[in-house]
Structure 1
Amino acid sequence: MNSGPRVLVVGAGPAGASLALLLARSGVAVTLVEASSSPARQFRGEALMPSGLEALAAMGLSHLLAAVPHRHLQGWRFVVNGRELFHAHEPLSGDPQRPCTLVNQPALLEALLGQAQSCPSFVLERGQPVSDLLWSQGRVAGVRLRNGRHLEAELVVACDGRASLLRQKAGLVLVEGVNSIDLLWFQLACPSPSPLQGSFTTLVGPEGVFSAFDSAGGGVQLGWLLNKGERVPACSPDDWIERMAPLSPPELAAWLRQWRAGLGEPSRLAVQVGLAERWWAPGLLLLGDAAHPMSPVRAQGINMALRDAWVASARLLPLLQPLLRPAPAPQQPQHGAPGAKTTAITGLDAALAAIEAERRPEITTLQALQAAEAARGEQLRRQSWLRSGLALAAPLVGPAIAAHWSHQQQPLRQGLSVLPALPGSP
């Protein structure tokens, strides 16, 4: 039986599932607690940027993509007042040969959990909501489940999302960023191929803004932009199609009307952007959306979560793995000398601070870039004269705008930090 330190990971999203797998694969005793019985939910981002694909490759998990529904994105298309402004093809100029890849996220999470469950030191507690933290001598020592059970651990990793209960229970403050939008997400059941040509298409016009893409799991996903806090209009599926069609080029408008019966009811995504003032407390680490809720602009959430998990595993394993080895023959105890567990805990808290210090600069920079891109989109949405001018001049200015936009995307696609090496990684 594993007698080393136990790590408790709360939340089986991209950060939690991948970190639990990385630790368990190295022999660390890991319990992964997930409130829901299934990773499926109304909305999960699908876009793996080169930065996220790099993290999966570093984990030795790129092969999982072949086993789950996925597709390579063909490009990024922008339409203004029903006229194509530009179409930038994947992979963008300056990228390594890693085109943005759409993946069915629930299926990917199940694949990660399947890998973890093959590790003897891994335990999955599914359908078990957490209600509180456990404390001992000023440090987090585990969690209390809603059913009253206590799970103890030397380290708790909170990957429980943007509304993180564990962040709140630990008194770690989330500083919210400026955000002026919410999103409505629709699923459109329809045959492939669609007129979207495999590209993520953003459409802007006097009626509003929406995006559309061919989903990795089949059909089309559509996102309609709302002002922050705006009430959802009482629209039927036919009404929504008639709001989207005028923003679309003629062939897409006709296709949307043809398949209107496949449009499901919308799900509201209340967009939240923020950064925890501190990502750790003694015995507790925040990762993913629990530490830094990301804007949906350019799909950074899953990518930053995977990179968080990789960095955390690289910094934690050198501390945890030596504690898995058989203990040396007992020596004469010395009065007042710290035990191995005390020494490990001291080093553990220092590692938590180091993980935050390593990850924070990339997150803060990318959040600023997301905000800048959102501001440019907001300007286009609100200024009719700008839309009209761009639509009229699209054949002349489109190529130059595409080249400039593609260059601006590089940090959001590649990330900004070099991923560390993982001891003993495959």
Structure 2
Amino acid sequence: MLVVGAGPAGASLALLLARRGLAVDLIDATGPGGRPFRGEGLMPSGLAALAAMGLEPLPAAVSQRPLTAWSFFLDGQALFETAEPMGSAAPCTLIDQDTLLSELLEQAGRQPGFRFHPGQAVSDLLLHDGRVAGVHLADGTSLEAALVVACDGRDSLLRRRGGLEMERAPSLLDVIWFRLESPGADAVLEWLAGRFVTVVGSSGSYALFPSARGGVQLGWAIAPEPPPVPTPAGPGAWAELWAGDAPEALARRLRELPAAAVQGPVRLPVRVGLCPRWQRHGLLLLGDAAHPMSPLRAQGINMALRDALVAARHLGPALLDGEPGAIDAAAAAVFAERQPEIRRIQALQEQEARRAELLRRRHRLRGLLARTARWSGPLLARRWLASQRPLRDGIAPIAKDPGAAAMIG
């Protein structure tokens, strides 16, 4: 079989199927390290998925940093803070996604049927009598397979070539990303103390957290449409903008950041959607190709890993059998099992985005909550915690992969 795209969905699916004795070709146009900003947040749902693959504990080669708490500030005033693991089996853990992908590929490479094709771009689907039978590569060659699994991201070429439509949801935000590099950002890193911090004020809202790669990641939320966003004229002006809404201790550290420590901005448009169909004969979509997620609560990588586990469970026996009808039925079963969780998670992300947008726009409400934080904070904390459980733990338990014992940490 063929898997296109070596992100979390593609790399983990290729490993799981190769471990079952299947011949798997994994094709990727870029490979690890090809994107400047990758999601770092593994929710308990994603950690459970990796555990079900046999990756528990996470291998030492995967750079990782468990979060200690979630903190919220309005107009410089602490609103509430909740400590990890918030009732879950494990704390949310930040990881360097490139090292995780490298580990998955390294373990897949131990399987005799696995072949990796980095730096190879797919140009089109290969069709036989209307059925997808492989892919054409940009170098003019072709690869045939009983099934092509498209894990090629939110702008999936194979989704378009396969005629599978995407139902797009309106996006309430885009994100401008920055990296605050050490050692210049060490004072900010020390103040964070392992927390994920959200700051909302008159200038807008942003979140910052300690990166598993070192230093700090900061995401500034902006409206995807006019009015125009702030365009500070350099690192110092950006730091001053963030400091204006921050609590005093953080504001002081932001203003002291050396210009060389501030890397960015990189604007990443947020696209959210869900395909009403994930398959046609010989083709299956997974991950962002099937359901691009909002960045809120880091669901992209977690849902991709869960997609791969379910897909491997259904596809493995059908691919070993090799009968086209059984393969198509297995692909349909993947869609039927995964779509309800994706719909629910996207709805919860939208609710959270709307609450954040309300605070950004309603200055009086934000000021009232900040002034009454001693009483309003605990109430809001309870409501927030209740809404986080499915975003953290997923909608349903995830089944262990039969080959998990073969994993080597």
* TM-score (norm: length of structure 2): 0.95
In the TM superposition, what is the alpha-carbon distance from 1:234 to its structure 2 partner? 5.1
Match of 2:265 in 1: 266
Match of 1:157 in 2: 149
Output one character per residue of 1:64-115: Cα deviation in whole Å (capped at 9) or x when no partner.
44222111001111000011100111001x322x000000001110111111
Match of 1:23 in 2: 17
What is the rounded CA distance, in whole Å, between the counterparts of 2:57 and 2:131 in structure 1?
Answer: 39
Q: 1:210 aligns with which of 202, 206, 210?
A: 206
Preserved CA contact (<8 Å) 1:282 1:349: yes
What is the rounded CA distance, in whole Å, between the counterparts of 1:370 and 1:305 in structure 2?
Answer: 16
Q: 1:196 aligns with which of 192, 199, 221?
A: 192
Structure 2, unmatched stretches of 5+, are none
Output one character per residue of 1:3-26: Cα deviation in whole Å (capped at 9) or x when no partner.
xxxx10000000000000001111
Q: 1:236 aligns with which of 193, 215, 234?
A: 234
Match of 1:396 in 2: 375
**1:414 maps to amino acid:** D
Aligned-CA RMSD value: 1.3
Match of 1:334 in 2: none
Preserved CA contact (<8 Å) 1:81 1:391: yes
Q: Residue 60 of structure 2 aligns to a residue in which SS?
A: helix
1:74 to 1:40, Cα distance in 2 relative to 1, 3 A: farther
**1:130 maps to amino acid:** V
Preserved CA contact (<8 Å) 1:12 1:39: no
Counting only pairs closer than 5 Å after superposition, residues 31-70 of structure 1 correspond to structure 2 as: 31-70=25-64
**2:302 maps to amino acid:** N
**2:290 maps to amino acid:** A
State the percentage of identical aligned residues: 53
Q: Find the structure with the greater CA-based Rg.
A: 1
Q: Residue 67 of structure 1 aligns to a residue in which SS?
A: coil
Preserved CA contact (<8 Å) 1:39 1:110: no
Asked whether 1:128 is paired with 2:120, we answer yes
What is the rounded CA distance, in whole Å, between the counterparts of 1:405 and 1:421 in structure 2?
Answer: 30
Counting only pairs closer than 5 Å after superposition, residues 364-375 of structure 1 correspond to structure 2 as: 364-375=343-354
Runs of 4+ in 1 over 6 A off after TM superposition: none
Aligned residues: 398
In the TM superposition, what is the alpha-carbon distance from 1:194 to its structure 2 partner? 2.4
Asked whether 1:362 is paired with 2:334, we answer no
Q: Residue 217 of structure 1 aligns to a residue in which SS?
A: coil
What is the rounded CA distance, in whole Å, between the counterparts of 1:75 and 1:65 in structure 2?
Answer: 23
Asked whether 1:291 is paired with 2:290, we answer yes
Q: 1:348 aligns with which of 324, 327, 333?
A: 327
Q: 2:107 aligns with which of 104, 108, 115?
A: 115
What is the rounded CA distance, in whole Å, between the counterparts of 2:256 and 2:397 in structure 1?
Answer: 47
Output one character per residue of 1:38-81: Cα deviation in whole Å (capped at 9) or x when no partner.
33411100000000000000000124442221110011110000
Preserved CA contact (<8 Å) 1:10 1:156: yes
What is the rounded CA distance, in whole Å, between the counterparts of 2:403 and 2:243 in structure 1?
Answer: 53
Q: 1:383 aligns with which of 362, 365, 369?
A: 362
What is the rounded CA distance, in whole Å, between the counterparts of 2:298 and 2:137 in structure 1?
Answer: 32
Preserved CA contact (<8 Å) 1:182 1:229: no
Match of 1:88 in 2: 82
Counting only pairs closer than 5 Å after superposition, residues 172-187 of structure 1 correspond to structure 2 as: 172-187=164-179
Q: Residue 285 of structure 1 aligns to a residue in which SS?
A: strand
What is the rounded CA distance, in whole Å, between the counterparts of 2:152 and 2:383 in structure 1?
Answer: 37
In the TM superposition, what is the alpha-carbon distance from 1:417 to its structure 2 partner? 1.8
Preserved CA contact (<8 Å) 2:232 2:238: no
Q: Residue 62 of structure 1 aligns to a residue in which SS?
A: coil
Match of 1:137 in 2: 129
Preserved CA contact (<8 Å) 1:65 1:103: no
* TM-score (norm: length of structure 1): 0.91
In the TM superposition, what is the alpha-carbon distance from 1:424 to its structure 2 partner? 4.4
